[in-house]
Amino acid sequence: MPLIRPFTALRPLPSHVADVIAPPYDVLNSEEARLRVEDRPWSFLHISKPEIDLPLDTDPYSKAVYAKGAENLQKMLKAGILKQDAKPCYYLYGLKMGHHQQIGLVAVANIADYNKNRIRKHELTRPDKEDDRVRQIDALNAQTGPVFLTYKHHPTIDKLVNTVTTTQSPVFNLTAEDGIVHTLWIVDDSAHIDTITTTYDAMDCLYIADGHHRSAAAARVAEQRQQSNPGHTGEEAYHYFLTVIFPDNQMQILDYNRVVKDLNGLTPEAFLERVAQHFEVIPSNTAVKPQQQSQFGLFLNQQWYQLNLHSDKIPKDDPVASLDVSLLTQHILTPILGITDLRRDKRIDFVGGIRGLGELEKRVNSGEMAVAFALYPTHLSQLMAVADSEQVMPPKSTWFEPKLADGLVSHLL
């Protein structure tokens, strides 16, 4: 079976897109989602975070929540807010944030290729989050959160995307509340569809940028359904998962910064003295936004410092150990601050670069945190190198912007 294929998408009618569009389910907590849906009965949050329609003390992982999501989906189908396309198509999804613009292909990808690592991973998954997505897909009988994929850009696809977006009118062009512009085109021309399918199928691999839990959950659902369907052919919808695939030269990765609650018993002076063993420490009168790899910003006691790691401390041939997020852990977080498990240690938190350096200052100046670290963004080539070596990146290594919206395109199983 091909690496990707067209599908009959479930999507809002153009007249209802503004009512439906919602942030990804995992960027809002339940309280924030409740506020977002006031006077918005058709928001996709009623499907992606259905606990907002149940009592406040409801466990968000209870059976009642998944059942409510399925009920809300059926309600939107019956009301004609969402409608499934009549024939399989590809779609182009444009995102514009400020001066940055990217256009990706909406398709379903082959789970067999995911299982063979032709669709490559770079993160571990948490069992509880994976279980949550399995139950959600099963209850809805649909995949509603697309997996964010990337690939090494290809001239044939670049040319086709340019042709479609310059000669066809989009089915919608919408500016969301956060200022991100979302645009969708339908690719239903049979020649274009064949070109897309064969060009991608000739590629060595695709890479997961974001959505490891969604893809892992889709694979588990496919395995379960195949086992309960002795007549399966491999053509069933559940053998594929929903994706948006962007070329690597259009992707935008922002910094993913760290804040720590205390100095592990050290005074600020003693802490800086320890840091200076491996870093050049330069006080700065302005906030420090790193300009290159192995350079860091440090905010402590209302003072910024620029940290330059000594060159002999940077591994040359290890794609994971050479990452800035790894270098910070190896030389400061673990040996000086005593943080050995970034996934579980409650003393550390992570701040996406979209919030700016001011957020780091705010969290330290408030007394909530003792120290903050600003990092240089991980490069996409580094992500690909880690995935190609079949290794995993440390937690919170990449922050992609802009984010894909929920509700614009879904895949019914």
Tell me, yes or no, whether 260 and 248 share the same domain.
Answer: no
Tell me, yes or no, whether 60 and 79 share the same domain.
Answer: yes
Question: Is the pLDDT at 343 greater than 90, yes or no?
Answer: no
Question: Is the pLDDT at 395 greater than 90, yes or no?
Answer: no
**In the prediction, which pLDDT does 28 show?**
87
Which domain does 48 fall in, by range? 4-252+402-412
In a domain, 202, yes or no: yes
Tell me, yes or no, whether 231 and 282 share the same domain.
Answer: no
Tell me, yes or no, whether 96 and 127 share the same domain.
Answer: yes
3-state secondary structure the chain: CCCEECECCEEECHHHHHHHCECCHHHCCHHHHHHHCCCCCCCCHHHHCHHHHCCCCCCCCCHHHHHHHHHHHHHHHHCCCEEECCCCEEEEEEEEECCEEEEEEEEEEEHHHHHCCCEECCCCCCHHHHHHHHHHHHHHCEECCCEEEEECCCHHHHHHHHHHHHHCCCCEEEECCCCCEEEEEEECCHHHHHHHHHHHHCCCCEEEEECHHHHHHHHHHHHHHHHCCCCCCCCCHHHEEEEEEEEHHHCCEECEEEEECCCCCCCHHHHHHHHCCCEEEEEECCCCCCCCCCEEEEEECCEEEEEEECHHHCCCCCCCCCCHHHHHHHHHHCCCCCCCCCCCCCCEEEEEHHHCHHHHHHHHHCCCCCEEEECCCCCHHHHHHHHHCCCCCCCCCCEECCCCCECCCEEEC
Mean pLDDT of the chain: 96
CATH number of the structural domain spanning residue 367:
3.30.1760
Tell me, yes or no, whether 147 and 241 share the same domain.
Answer: yes
Tell me, yes or no, whether 245 and 322 share the same domain.
Answer: no
Tell me, yes or no, whether 56 and 155 share the same domain.
Answer: yes
Tell me, yes or no, whether 114 and 234 share the same domain.
Answer: yes
Task: Give the pLDDT band (50/70/90) at residue 317.
Answer: confident
User: pTM for the whole thing?
Assistant: 0.92
Question: Is the pLDDT at 26 greater than 90, yes or no?
Answer: no
Tell me, yes or no, whether 307 and 203 share the same domain.
Answer: no
Question: Is the pLDDT at 338 greater than 90, yes or no?
Answer: yes
What's the average model confidence in pLDDT over 300-313? 96
Task: Give the pLDDT band (50/70/90) at residue 86.
Answer: very high
Tell me, yes or no, whether 290 and 217 share the same domain.
Answer: no
Tell me, yes or no, whether 108 and 129 share the same domain.
Answer: yes
Tell me, yes or no, whether 86 and 222 share the same domain.
Answer: yes
Question: Is the pLDDT at 126 greater than 90, yes or no?
Answer: no
